[in-house]
Structure formats: structure tokens, C-alpha cells
Amino acid sequence: MCASPLEILRAGPPPPRTVLLPDGLFFVRSIAVNLDGEGSEGVSHLDQVASQVELALEATSPFPLINLYYGHFWLPGASHALVYASYRRRFTAEQALTWAETDFVCPSFIALAGAKVEPATTVLLTSPEGITAMHWGTQVVPTKVQFQAIAVDATDEQRSVIRTELLRKFESLKVVDVATAPSASWGNTEGEINYSSEELNACLSVDLLKHADVRDKAELAAIQKAKARDRILWNVVVGSVACFGLLALFELALIAGGFWQNTRRIKLNIQAPVVAEIMNRQEIANRINDLSTRRLLPIEMVQAISPKKKAYSIYFSSVATNGLYGVTIEAQTPNAGEIKSYENDLRGLPSCQSVVIKNTQSRNNITTFTLVVMFIPNALKPNAPTP
């Protein structure tokens, strides 16, 4: 049965693909390293150690480097590095082909070489092929690594004798026996790999393990470049999928919003007649309230703006109310010059809100015009004396 996507996400990324080769296939040496500060060309300590390791191998190995699978292990602060190499013909072509699919290929003892142990500690790593002894002095990198082969059919007594003889070669204050092969997992920090076996645990950076890898350096560089490219493409694919997922989420939100809006429209259409009836009744109620509490005062409005107060020769020919507080008057005068003065007088009345004179026409020495006056609400009182 296939695992669900949720279970895959909970499981996290798969463990790193590492190949731990038998220690007995490699000869191991410890060489001193001399490090300078970061050079002007930006040469790191890791690159300096790698150059010194290759020079040391060329000087001590009976075979050219092109015929060797080799690597080295070094940690910052150490004055020496572990160098190991093996003749390429010890490995079949089929084995080398499978390495292209892995992240790291190194001897088994490298998995625990970065473990934090006390000074003068010897770790005995037991494998089907034999026992590998790693001895630490006072530094973080083991000073000696020695492998002792054991026959498959050897008895426990014979294995105990071999173990004792192996320990006599080191001055050990503490001995740690490891009977299980180290397992690899990604560290909590990106770019780190954890190797753990029983009570020992080693956390190594990918940059350090890159130099510990025994594969052909040119092929290794090509593999790492391809992995970097694949990682970029994978990030692009993941980003694209995330964008598509986000767009799909927005689309679903729009669809859900459309359904919600349609529901609101249906409810609005259902309630529209009821609302219209309520508004109509409210309007009628307001009209009844206006008629019952407010009065139309056409006489008072005409009296308030009567031109006879200042003996203007202006006469009203018709009067029409404009709501409760407005009046529209058709007027005429033989003296057109009085219209402007009359307008100014009306604007000065405290009860007038606005005064508009329009449609002014003259014929046969008679000027007709339309006067529109709006009063301030409640400025006029019934039967109020004319100001």
C-alpha cells in the first residue's frame, strides 16, 4: 500500500546515500599539515590540506594517483590529517558504477573518525572482515588507524586474542567497542551528516566529507556539479508547484466567493420586495409626520420676501411652493435696475438660505424674471410678524 503524502512529509527527507567500504582495502597514514592564513587568492585551509595530501601520496605511494582511490580526513584545528588510499583494481567496475548514485563513498572508520572522545581513547570497530582500531591522542583527529583481519570461522577466543594484541599497540586510557555499523542521517543544520553507532556520534559537514570521498576527483567534481544543478532545478520545480498551488488556492477562494456572492444576491432578491414595502411605508410615515408636525407657510414666505417693504416696483404674477421651505415666484418690474438690489436685500435676510434669480427677459419696457427662494427650516413661524 502506498504511503500518503502526509506520511511522506512527516517522514522528512530520505537519509543520505553513503557507501562505507571495508577498512582492510585501504592503507592509512597520518601526515603533518602546515597551514597558512587565508591567502590573497582565497585558498581555504581545506584546499591547502588537500594539496599537501596529494603531494604526500605522490611521494610515498608506489602507484600514480590516477591508479588510486584516495581521500583524507581532517578537522579544523588539527595539526595532522589521516590519509588513506587503495589500488583501483581492488574494486570491480560494477562497484564503481553504483557509486555515481551515492552521496559519499569512504572507508567505514571515517564515519566515526569525527566523534568527540576523550584523549587517549581507542575505538574498536568490529566488522565481518575484522577489527579496525582508531586511537586518539590529544587532538580531534585520530593519530593511528589499524585494521586486523579476522577469519569468518574464528572462535570467540581467537577474536579476543586478536583484540588484546591490537590494543597493546596503543596507550589507551579508555576503550570503546563498536559492534554495529554506523548509520547515516541528515544533521539538524543544513549541510551536515550525522553518523551514529551505539554510544558514538559524529556530525560532519558536507565540505569535510567531500575531501574524505575516495572516488575519482574529476568524476566527483562532475557528480557534485550535476547534483548542484539538479538541486537548483528541484528548487525551481518546488517553487513552481508552490506557485501553482497558491494560484489554485486563490481560484478556489474566488469560486467560493462567487457562491457566497450568489447566495447573497438570492437573499437580496428575496428580501427586495419586503425592503421596498418597508421603505414605502417609512416614506408615507415620514410624510404623515411632516404634515402633522410641519406646516407649509406660503403666506409667511411671500410676506418675508415682499418687495413692498422698500417700495420696489416689483410685482409677483404667480407663486408656487417648492417643498416645505421653498417658493418659486414669477415676477415683473418696469425698472430692471431694481432686480439686483432686491436680490441683495433678500440674501441679507436671516431666514433665507439661498436666493436665485433666473430667466430674466425684457419686452415693451417690462422685465420678467423667476425668483427661487429657499428658507432655513423652521426660520419662519406661523402668524409670525413680518420682519
Domain parsing of the chain, residue ranges: 5-215, 216-293, 298-375
What confidence score (pLDDT) does residue 387 get?
A: 46
For residues 27 and 145, what is the distance between their CA atoms, to the nearest angstrom? 9
Assigned CATH topology for domain 298-375: Gyrase A; domain 2 (3.30.1360)
* Residue ranges with strand state E in 258-365: 315-321, 326-333, 352-363
What is the Cα–Cα distance from 322 to 374, expressed in whole angstroms? 8
Q: 230 phi and psi, to 5 degrees?
A: -65, -35
CA within 13 Å, CB half, 204: 27
Question: Could you report the per-residue pLDDT of 252-298, keeping only the tens digit for each?
Answer: 888 888 888 888 888 888 888 888 888 888 888 887 776 666 667 88
Which tens digits make up the pLDDT trace of 49-68? Answer: 888 988 888 888 888 888 89
Q: Are 362 and 335 in contact (CB under 8 A)?
A: no
Residue-wise pLDDT for 310-356, tens only, equals 778 888 888 888 877 888 989 988 988 888 888 888 888 888 888 89
Give the model's pLDDT for residue 41.
Answer: 52
Query: What pLDDT shows up at residue 58?
Result: 87
Model pTM score: 0.58
